Amino acid sequence: MCRNIKTLHNFEPPATTEEVHASALQFVRKLSGMNKPSQANEEAFELAVDRVAAAAQEMLNTLTTHAPARDREVEAQKAKMRSVARFGR
């Protein structure tokens, strides 16, 4: 599950709210061991996702770096090349 969580810091354009929420959802899924919570746990699950997303967004907003921003397309191409090298076509 956590392999789907992507680095969101230092990209141009910056991470969107949707990307931060998706990462928070994956994190909460991993912690809880649930892909989809039961109705009894749904409220607690969604609250956790919202709080993790808010904390992650706050962190991303306050991080600083002197490194140049990375390009999303270039990083995606690098990941694709690593995948081909690891698993073949």
* Mean pLDDT, the chain cut into blocks of 10 residues (89 residues total): 75 92 94 95 98 97 93 89 89
Is residue 79 one of the residues assigned to a domain?
A: yes
The total domain count for the chain is 1
DSSP at 71: E
Is residue 29 one of the residues assigned to a domain?
A: yes
Say what the pLDDT of residue 75 is: 87
Say what the pLDDT of residue 4 is: 64
Is residue 1 one of the residues assigned to a domain?
A: no
Q: Cα separation of 51 and 25, whole Å?
A: 10
Nearest C-alpha neighbor of 54 from the set 29, 24, 30: 24
Q: Which two tokens stand for residue 85?
A: 């090298």
Say what the pLDDT of residue 12 is: 87
Is residue 20 one of the residues assigned to a domain?
A: yes
Crossing angle between the packed helical segments 17-32 and 42-62, to the nearest 10 degrees = 130
Domain that holds residue 49: 7-87
Is residue 2 one of the residues assigned to a domain?
A: no
Whether residue 75 contacts residue 68, with contact meaning beta carbons closer than 8 Å, is answered with no
3-state SS class at 12: strand
